[in-house]
Amino acid sequence: MTHVLGAYRPGASPLHRLPAWSKVAALVAWSAVTLLVRDPITSGGMAAAALLLLVSVTPAPGPTLKGLGMIVIVAAMAGAYQVWRGDYLAGIDIGVDLIGLFALSLSITGSTPMSDMLDLATAAARPFRRILPPAVTGLMFAIMLRAIPEIANIMRQSRDAARARGVRRNLTALMIPTATRTVGFALDLGAALHARGIGDDARSDAPRLRPMRLSPQAPSE
């Protein structure tokens, strides 16, 4: 499901044109309504609307369908639990709510550049600037999203490495290399941030930009 994180695709849909803050506000309001209203028909209508919004931003089909497939399984399990408890309406309501919220989240990440989200997180953190610089808060948000697929990738590689050595279903063989390599990735990322001077963002006396020209042509793919 990590494929769909930060899966922004440029476009001209109405959602693409909306500012990031309005989309995040809509997501919060939508979540509140789905929590408060326990009516399968309303939830079904909202989920259908969210799916239409998702289609309108034309996300990458493969990862989106894969992500939706996963959330349908989770929704079915959550719904089945409620049905098992005897609450059929709640079962349908929770399952459909989950699908609707996931579809809306995907339509927002698919139509909002990460830099806009970064600006929004930075702006939202301004009231707390005495505790943490707003730029750092925004950056933490970006790094978190960047780290999730990378950690999933490390976990996949660790699992393959364990299998290549004939070790299967061994949690230690999976988790220890994953943990150590994740720490290594975090250290490398920290060093890269430091080297790029990104932690020094808040300084206002930075020099003005003077683009540097380069000559050689890149090889074709």
Partner 1 sequence: MIEFKDATVVAPDSGIVILKPTTLTLSENRITVIGANGSGKSTLARLINGLAIPVSGSVSVDGVDTRKHGARVRRKVGFLFTDPTSQLIMPTAIEDVMLSLRRVIKSKNERVKAAMAALEDIGLGDKADVSVNALSGGQRQLLALAGVLTATPKVVVADEPTTLLDLRWKAHVGALLHSLPIQLIEVTHDLEAATKADRTLVVDDGGVVFDGNPEDAVSHYRDLMYRKSVGEPA
**Nearest distance, CB of residue 16 and partner 1, angstroms:** 12
**Nearest distance, CB of residue 61 and partner 1, angstroms:** 15
**Amino acid at the residue 3:** H
Tell me: does residue 164 bind partner 1 (CB under 8 A): no
Tell me: does residue 80 bind partner 1 (CB under 8 A): no
Q: Is 58 exposed, middle or buried (0-12, 13-18, 19+ CB in 10 A)?
A: middle
Q: Cβ(123)–Cβ(134) under 8 Å?
A: yes
CA distance 217 to 81: 59
- Per CB under 8 A, the list member of 74, 150, 159, 163 interacting with partner 1 is 150
- Per CB under 8 A, the list member of 105, 119, 159, 176 interacting with partner 1 is 119
**Nearest distance, CB of residue 155 and partner 1, angstroms:** 15
Tell me: does residue 149 bind partner 1 (CB under 8 A): yes
Tell me: does residue 133 bind partner 1 (CB under 8 A): no
**Nearest-CA neighbor of 13 among 116, 111, 117?**
111
Tell me: does residue 115 bind partner 1 (CB under 8 A): yes
Q: Which stretch, 66-74, 77-85, 157-165, 200-208, contacts partner 1 (CB under 8 A)?
A: 200-208
Please, which residues have CB within 8 angstroms of residue 75's CB and are 6 or more apart in sequence? 94, 95, 96, 98, 99
- Per CB under 8 A, the list member of 61, 86, 166, 216 interacting with partner 1 is 216
Tell me: does residue 210 bind partner 1 (CB under 8 A): yes
**Nearest distance, CB of residue 129 and partner 1, angstroms:** 16
**Nearest distance, CB of residue 75 and partner 1, angstroms:** 26
- Per CB under 8 A, the list member of 1, 4, 8, 163 interacting with partner 1 is 8
**Nearest-CA neighbor of 67 among 102, 34, 94, 92?**
102
Long-range contacts of 48-55, Cβ-Cβ distance < 8 Å, separation of 24 or more? 48/100, 49/100, 50/99, 50/100, 50/101, 50/103, 50/104, 50/107, 51/99, 51/100, 51/103, 53/15, 53/103, 53/104, 53/107, 54/103, 54/104, 54/106, 54/107, 54/110
Tell me: does residue 179 bind partner 1 (CB under 8 A): no
Give the residues lining the site for partner 1 (CB under 8 A).
Answer: 6-10, 113-115, 118-119, 135, 142-143, 145-146, 149-150, 185, 188-189, 191-198, 200-203, 206-219, 221
